[in-house]
A = this chain, B = another copy of it.
Amino acid sequence: MSETAAREKLIDLAAQFYDQFELGEIPHMDVPTRSKSNIIFDEDAGVWVYGDRSSSRSANSVRGARKLLKAVYTIEFLANQLDEDRSSTLRELYYLSESWDEEEAQFNSQDQSNSLVEDLEIVSGVKREDFHMRPEESGATLMGPLLLREQTRRGDREIHCQEDVGEGGYQIPNNPDTIEFLDNDADFVMAVETGGMRDRLIENGFDDEYNAIIVHLKGQPARATRRITKRLHDDLDLPVTVFTDGDPWSYRIYGSVAYGSIKSAHLSEYLATPQADFVGIRPVDIVEYDLPTDPLSDSDVNALESELEDPRFSTDFWTEQIELQLDIEKKAEQQALASRGLDFVTDTYLPERLDEMGVI
């Protein structure tokens, strides 16, 4: 979305309060309830979105009025930021509010400013990136047969993500919508949880041999990482696969790539890749390949049980795998494949799995 369009949407939001005043209404802003009980499956988009339940921020109490005041100051700040083509982090916004003339508008904690920016995203339909709000840390990388053009403040940069980068790969910028894909020889995308496995795939030349674009997830992936993964799927029509450890926290990582998260269900259409397929480590891999394991902790068991209840995991595949894992009471890391030798993952495990999945 252009700066101008994003700015207009923000101003519209402020204008609503004026309209409400004029109609003699108490100013208010309605936002969907952000909880597990209020997400529903959107059949058309194939992603989970918020349902109909909403809560209201209304000026009918001092507390509510103060929230709206903070919202209005933030809208003004964001509108100016877009006007000047600047950007800032969520933390800077929190600190910056200390310089606002109206003390009641200042934030008391960063939680407050973070959640207000989320509210504004949802209500205005403008993404945080289009407000020019940056995350604190991003830091994921990409490597593979892909030529792209990134629009930076210092001009455009054309970068081939194998030939023009070092072994560390191409650093995904905070807002990957500044990237244009120019050309590629890729057959699929593989999003990888850990740095150790990412480096293994690169060292073994997996990206080269299988024409794969390797995206490093770095644990729970940042929005920028999920966004570029989705764009690789949608714009380039590439299958997306996700390769993680074999434990409930890693299934959530897969879930955040494929289904979106509860906290950002309003962004599912922008961030989620529902077609993303899970490679492993599956509990059945632990059994079949006799991988070195660790016992499940109590919190692992709780997380698995909570996933069994989660609508996003209520497929035959996940039910079967999670029940198997609760049964064997074990988990394994992706690097546990090294117990079969350093090349086992690229010579045997991945080719077998990807063939089975119909990707290669």
Contacts and interface: CB of A to CB of B under 8 A. Distances in A.
A134 interface: yes
A86 B203 contact: yes
Given A200-B89, A335-B89, A195 B139 contact: yes
B195 A166 contact: no
Contact of A167 (B99, B137, B173): B173
A218 B139 contact: yes
Contacts of A195: 135-139
Interface string A67-82: 0000000000000000
Contacts of A169: 171
Q: How many copies does the complex hold?
A: 2
Interface in A146-190: 150, 152-154, 157, 159, 162-174, 178
Nearest to A336: B95
Interface stretch (A21-29, A30-38, A41-49, A337-345): A337-345
A330 to B, nearest CB: 14
Given A195-B138, A196-B91, A86 B171 contact: no
Interface in A103-123: none
A95 B200 contact: no
A95 B139 contact: no
Nearest to A194: B136
A171 B171 contact: yes
A contact residues, range: 35 or more
Contact of A91 (B137, B141, B333): B333
Contacts of A165: 157, 159, 171
A87 interface: yes
A335 B137 contact: no
Interface string A289-324: 000100000000000000000000000000000000
B341 A99 contact: yes
A134 B199 contact: yes
Contacts of A337: 95
A328 interface: no
Contact of A340 (B99, B136, B163, B339): B99
A92 B335 contact: yes
Residue with the highest number of chain B CB atoms closer than 10 Å, among A89, A157, A166, A195: A166
A12 interface: no
Given A91-B196, A96-B338, A341-B96, A150 B166 contact: yes
A88 interface: yes
A98 interface: yes
22 contacts: A88-B200, A91-B338, A92-B196, A92-B200, A92-B335, A95-B339, A96-B339, A96-B342, A98-B339, A134-B196, A137-B194, A137-B196, A141-B171, A152-B167, A153-B205, A154-B208, A157-B166, A164-B164, A167-B178, A169-B171, A170-B171, A171-B171
Given A135-B195, A139-B141, 11 more contacts: A86-B203, A88-B342, A91-B335, A92-B196, A92-B338, A96-B338, A99-B340, A136-B196, A150-B167, A159-B165, A171-B171
